[in-house]
Amino acid sequence: MSYFDAASAAPLHPVARQGLLAALDDGWADPSRLYREGRRARMLLDAARETAAEAVGCRFDELVFTSSGTRAVHDGIAGATAGRRRVGRHLIVSSVEHSSVLHSAERYAAAGGAVTEVAVDRSGAVDAEGYARALRPDTALACLQSANHEVGTEQPVAAVAEACRAAGVPLLVDAAQSLGWAPVAGAWSLLAASAHKWGGPAGVGLLVVRKGVRFAPQGPADERESGRAAGFENLPAIVAAAASLRAVRAEAAREAARLRELTARIRARVPALVPDVEVVGDPERRLPGIVTFSCLYVDGETLLHELDRAGFSVSSGSSCTSSTLTPSHVLRAMGVLSEGNVRISLPPGTPAEEVERFLDVLPGVVTGVRERVGAPVGAGHPAAPSAGPAAAGADDGTSPDSPTDLSPSSSTGTSPDSPGDLPGGSVSGAPAEGPAGGALVVDALGRRCPIPVIELAKVIGDVPVGGTVLVLADDEAARLDIPAWCEMRGQAYLGEEPADQGSAYLVRRVS
Amino acid sequence: MSYFDAASAAPLHPVARQGLLAALDDGWADPSRLYREGRRARMLLDAARETAAEAVGCRFDELVFTSSGTRAVHDGIAGATAGRRRVGRHLIVSSVEHSSVLHSAERYAAAGGAVTEVAVDRSGAVDAEGYARALRPDTALACLQSANHEVGTEQPVAAVAEACRAAGVPLLVDAAQSLGWAPVAGAWSLLAASAHKWGGPAGVGLLVVRKGVRFAPQGPADERESGRAAGFENLPAIVAAAASLRAVRAEAAREAARLRELTARIRARVPALVPDVEVVGDPERRLPGIVTFSCLYVDGETLLHELDRAGFSVSSGSSCTSSTLTPSHVLRAMGVLSEGNVRISLPPGTPAEEVERFLDVLPGVVTGVRERVGAPVGAGHPAAPSAGPAAAGADDGTSPDSPTDLSPSSSTGTSPDSPGDLPGGSVSGAPAEGPAGGALVVDALGRRCPIPVIELAKVIGDVPVGGTVLVLADDEAARLDIPAWCEMRGQAYLGEEPADQGSAYLVRRVS
């Protein structure tokens, strides 16, 4: 098995295991007690805090241990915004933050706060100047991740921190993905991180609040961890977290260079080996171990399943692999393809041979999955115009006046090769003369990703250059993937309008 | 070393250690992932939940794992009160709950809720009927511990749960101290517990919410643990927690009987071996392993330190051993002596010989501490009336009209034997004819527990039977310990009034 999902959880570092075992014997007692076992626990806790603070680059008394990175984010945002309540009730986040940040922002908005979501470019990065423009006199807190957890893109934290400093606004950095590699540069004010992302154990997060930052812990009072993290200290795990952070840092420079080469090779080879693939994320300003790509005409869940069968554990931002039925908010914010999405995040120590084996296996797996979902024949090249009953002459290219009036009147079922394992009804992708100025109508209502895009790809050749195809779809992924398909295939995406069910997406054939 | 503080944190059970080690290898991945490592983690998590639910006596889907017992209490109270916000905003707690419950109640009150604190008797137990009378039509939630963490007294949970059920009010039971011994009987609605109290690892709590109980999780949304416990699951620790709960339960009946005998022996022997000791807590309805007593004229911190030197790790509810300078709220609510307080909580497996050694060592340790703080000569018996210049004839026995006018005018310094290691100024305990109807005035302002009581004890013999002593003190413990001393020594406590500094406590000599 090759485990390529370190961005979710890294396997336990050997030093973490050793630290945990040692602290199980010496660190189970209450560090606030005066007796021998308590004093020993206190010494271990203090030493772990020193080690972690040194790795972060902060003072000993600025850092507390929380029960997870998520808790560090939740409690950091709650405490910092409450501490500056008198300044105002405005919060800034980027649109590609971890869900713990975005859920905190939702909660803040629900309680009456204002939230600005700063957009990212197609690489997933915010623009520092654009971020700075979001700062307002009533901004209580700004949040920015150090690097993105789904595509690996690094954010311009130092520049944003400088803009925040100039405006007198504290910046909270979610450093979950990067802290194992290096300290976060710049004049940030708060920092959150998670030990199991760097090879430490689960159950430990870090919350750093710089001296001078107003901070009002929320929730019931609790004396532990300076009142900033309620509950009995999880000391053995804290000891293991700190020890492993130091250990991974000692190996970071060498290992980062090695993993960066491996991911660069994946970035270069996958598009050459697999047709119709989009590699996403910044090619240069990125984390060493993460590379993410999406495959047209591929059902993400099936792809993950087949890769798992082939011995590769990866994750995906495709909608069909999540419980919410919506594509990853990161891919959505970037405006890139979400179907057939694969995130590779290599744990430190991954052998190059495993990556080579992945590159050997991937093309066949993708081909197999495409065949199962009935991807267009000859995927990888635009389908040739057929001689079928296309909506010839329909070339106005404007959005239909009232797409909600469209009905999939003359749809004919053209089942894909093996649709049995996909949800939804039969495929209705036959061309139709609708009231929408002669666009060819594809009814993909009730069909899930990647079927709407597949049906579009199948019929685009049936309209002449300049002709239009209207796709009716109610799958959330279509909103992202139809425009992304157009961009990848050089067709013109004309826009979306609400329909009786779902939405109507209009595409003009350009080539 | 004899570790007698299991009620703070129990040493790791061998089964917990084994479970943790096994799950470190198999349970570090994200249980929400679809690949092999994730599925294995999910299986471990499901199995742990089954095990824990069986031990609690609840359904699999009623139980979530939190990051600590404190978090389980905080989140349980927040979620249950929010879920019943429309019913009303009234919360009931007992006065001897764990600080996590009382801090939640403070937070609830600060947010506009009403809180009723149900009193306990001198044994530390609530009266079920008295508790039931606190229920109101607008009561959102009632809370009651299964057994007290400082004195071991069991609460009448089943009877209170029945009253709550009849009133349609959910009852949250803090079962932290008892869950290792047995399930909580009765029709409770929510339950919280903490693994490191039963020999599991730190970092794991349980929150059980019965089906049908309205519950609205607070804080930012998070999909893990049914939305009731944010953050990546601490799976190795969860596995260890569940495995050790099953293991301690298998040994519970035998071990409970054995520890109950040991604590019964301490309850019986300590008052026989050490003069002026009050054993507190219910002698029958109590946890097997906890016994608590207080020693007159003893500085708690020094006592703990000396016991630690002698090889015994115990805790204390005395004010001088806490960071808050106030005595334990439990002892205060019970109205018992707080000075020289010692809580013994035996971990399962404690050898009888360790208890015997403790009984051998304790009398000498207490005597030594008493000597150091200048306890009255012949402590253990009422001091004989001296022939000194006592306030003869002062026998009205009423409270002074205006004790705030009292000044320690004629105090003379009578230093205790070795006061050097105690805070505060010189002792001013000489008799004085004040304006308070001839009471003898003891000025203990600025002196900390146990000095005010020691000074009182030293001079009580200087007034005739029927005469009064007025103690001026600003130490919080005096409010509890002077009445407790009177009860223990058969003197009459007449009451307290505010003074220029601190308070004035009036005592009449009865024997």
Which residues in B lie closer than 8 A to residue A9 (C-beta atoms)? 28-30, 232
Q: Which residue has the tokens 């979710």?
A: A8
For the stretch B432-457, what's the b/e string if a residue is b when 16 or more beta carbons lie within 10 angstroms of its beta carbon? Answer: bebebbbbbbbbbbbbbbbbbbbbbb
Average pLDDT over residues B314-332: 82
Average pLDDT over residues B70-94: 97
Question: B94: pLDDT confidence band, cut at 50, 70 and 90?
Answer: very high
A99-103, A225-229, B258-262: the lowest-pLDDT one: A225-229
CB A294 within 8 A of CB A339: yes
> What is the DSSP code (8-state) at residue B438?
T
Taking CB atoms and an 8 Å limit, are A5 and B305 in contact across chains?
A: no
**B434-to-A326, B413, B443, B470, B473 alpha-carbon distances in Å:** 81, 17, 12, 9, 16
From first CA to last CA, the distance across chain B in angstroms is 43
- Residue B315: closest C-alpha in chain A: A33
Backbone φ and ψ for B108, nearest 5 degrees, come out as -65, -45
In the chain, the amino acid numbered A149 is H
CB A374 within 8 A of CB A30: no
Strand A468-473 to A503-508 pairing: antiparallel
> Does B403-508 match B8-248 at the fold level?
no
CB contact residues (below 8 A), chain B span 299-338, against chain A: 301, 304-305, 307-308, 312-315, 321, 323
Predicted pLDDT at B323: 64
* β strands within A74-214, DSSP E: 90-94, 114-118, 139-145, 171-174, 190-194, 205-209
CB-nearest to A33 from B5, B21, B28 is B5
Mean pLDDT of chain B: 88
Which residues in B lie closer than 8 A to residue A12 (C-beta atoms)? 24, 28
The upper half-sphere exposure of residue B237, i.e. CA atoms within 13 Å in the direction of its Cβ, equals 31
Higher pLDDT, B264 or A324: B264
Q: Is the model's pLDDT at B331 over the cut of 80?
A: yes
Average pLDDT over residues A28-42: 92
Q: What percent of chain A has pLDDT over 90?
A: 76
Q: Provide the CA B292 distance to its chain's centre, in angstroms.
A: 10
Average pLDDT over residues A2-10: 94
CB contact residues (below 8 A), chain A span 222-261, against chain B: 222-223, 230-237
Taking CB atoms and an 8 Å limit, are B234 and A201 in contact across chains?
A: yes
Backbone φ and ψ for B174, nearest 5 degrees, come out as -85, 105
Cβ atoms within 10 Å of B393's Cβ, excluding its own: 11
Predicted pLDDT at B373: 85
Taking CB atoms and an 8 Å limit, are B234 and A203 in contact across chains?
A: yes
Q: Is the model's pLDDT at B78 over the cut of 80?
A: yes
Taking CB atoms and an 8 Å limit, are A5 and B30 in contact across chains?
A: yes
Average pLDDT over residues B294-306: 92
- Please list the alpha-helical segments (H only) found in B388-493: 451-460, 476-489
Q: Is the model's pLDDT at B179 over the cut of 70?
A: yes
Higher pLDDT, A152 or B10: A152
Three-state SS sequence of A307-373: HHHCCEECECCCHHHCCCCCCCHHHHHHCCCCCCEEEEECCCCCCHHHHHHHHHHHHHHHHHHHHHC
Pick the CATH number of B8-248 from 3.30.1490.20, 3.40.50.720, 3.40.640.10, 3.40.190.10: 3.40.640.10
Query: For the domain B403-508, what is the CATH code?
Result: 3.30.110.40
Predicted pLDDT at B308: 95
Provide the shortest C-alpha distance from residue B177 to chain A (in Å).
Answer: 14
CB-nearest to B70 from A231, A235, A314 is A231
Provide the shortest C-alpha distance from residue A71 to chain B (in Å).
Answer: 6
Higher pLDDT, B412 or A459: A459
Q: Is the model's pLDDT at B295 over the cut of 80?
A: yes
Please indicate if any CB of chain B lies within 8 Å of the CB of A107.
yes
- Whether the ipTM is more than 0.95: the answer is no
**B288-to-A219, A295, B259 alpha-carbon distances in Å:** 33, 63, 5
Please indicate if any CB of chain A lies within 8 Å of the CB of B431.
no
CB A85 within 8 A of CB A140: yes
Predicted pLDDT at A375: 86
CB-nearest to B74 from A104, A230, A233 is A230
Q: Interhelix angle for A36-56 vs A235-273, to 10°?
A: 30
On the question of a cis peptide bond just before residue A403, with omega within 30 degrees of 0, the verdict is no
Q: Which residue has the tokens 């991954």?
A: A350
CB-nearest to A70 from B106, B231, B314 is B231
Which residues in B lie closer than 8 A to residue A231 (C-beta atoms)? 67-71, 205
Nearest to B74 by CA among B232, B241, B239, B228: B228
Question: A386: pLDDT confidence band, cut at 50, 70 and 90?
Answer: very low
CB contact residues (below 8 A), chain B span 172-211, against chain A: 194, 196, 201-203, 205
Predicted pLDDT at B321: 66
Q: What percent of chain A has pLDDT over 70?
A: 87
Task: List pLDDT tens digits, range A37-56.
Answer: 999 999 999 999 999 999 99
Which residues in B lie closer than 8 A to residue A3 (C-beta atoms)? 29, 37
Strand B290-295 to B205-209 pairing: unpaired
Backbone φ and ψ for A158, nearest 5 degrees, come out as -60, -45
Pick the CATH number of B252-373 from 3.40.50.300, 3.40.50.2300, 3.90.1150.10, 3.20.20.450: 3.90.1150.10
Q: Is the model's pLDDT at A425 over the cut of 70?
A: no
Average pLDDT over residues B294-316: 93
Predicted pLDDT at B140: 98
Predicted pLDDT at A14: 95
Q: Is the model's pLDDT at B312 over the cut of 60?
A: yes
CB contact residues (below 8 A), chain B span 269-288, against chain A: none
Question: B318: pLDDT confidence band, cut at 50, 70 and 90?
Answer: confident
A282-291, A383-392, B109-118, B359-368: the lowest-pLDDT one: A383-392
Question: A403: pLDDT confidence band, cut at 50, 70 and 90?
Answer: very low
Strand A468-473 to A341-345 pairing: unpaired
Backbone φ and ψ for A117, nearest 5 degrees, come out as -100, 115
Architecture of domain A270-372 in CATH? Alpha-Beta Complex (3.90)
Taking CB atoms and an 8 Å limit, are B28 and A232 in contact across chains?
A: no
A193-207, A262-276, A343-357, B325-339: the lowest-pLDDT one: B325-339
* Burial (CB count within 10 angstroms: exposed 0-12, middle 13-18, buried 19+), residue B121: middle
Q: Is the model's pLDDT at A423 over the cut of 70?
A: no
Provide the shortest C-alpha distance from residue A52 to chain B (in Å).
Answer: 19
Question: A222: pLDDT confidence band, cut at 50, 70 and 90?
Answer: confident
Please indicate if any CB of chain A lies within 8 Å of the CB of B14.
no
Provide the shortest C-alpha distance from residue B36 to chain A (in Å).
Answer: 7
**B167-to-B135, B163, B170, B248 alpha-carbon distances in Å:** 7, 6, 9, 35
Task: List pLDDT tens digits, range A296-342.
Answer: 999 888 999 999 999 999 999 887 666 666 889 999 999 999 999 99
Taking CB atoms and an 8 Å limit, are B237 and A202 in contact across chains?
A: yes
Taking CB atoms and an 8 Å limit, are B220 and A104 in contact across chains?
A: yes
Three-state SS sequence of B345-412: ECCCCCCHHHHHHHHHHHHHHHHHHHHHHCCCCCCCCCCCCCCCCCCCCCCCCCCCCCHHHCCCCCCC
Please indicate if any CB of chain A lies within 8 Å of the CB of B71.
yes
Q: Is the model's pLDDT at A1 over the cut of 80?
A: yes
Q: What percent of chain B has pLDDT over 70?
A: 87
The domain locations on chain A are 270-372, 403-508
Predicted pLDDT at B6: 95
**A466-to-A255, B94, B211 alpha-carbon distances in Å:** 51, 77, 60
Taking CB atoms and an 8 Å limit, are B24 and A37 in contact across chains?
A: no
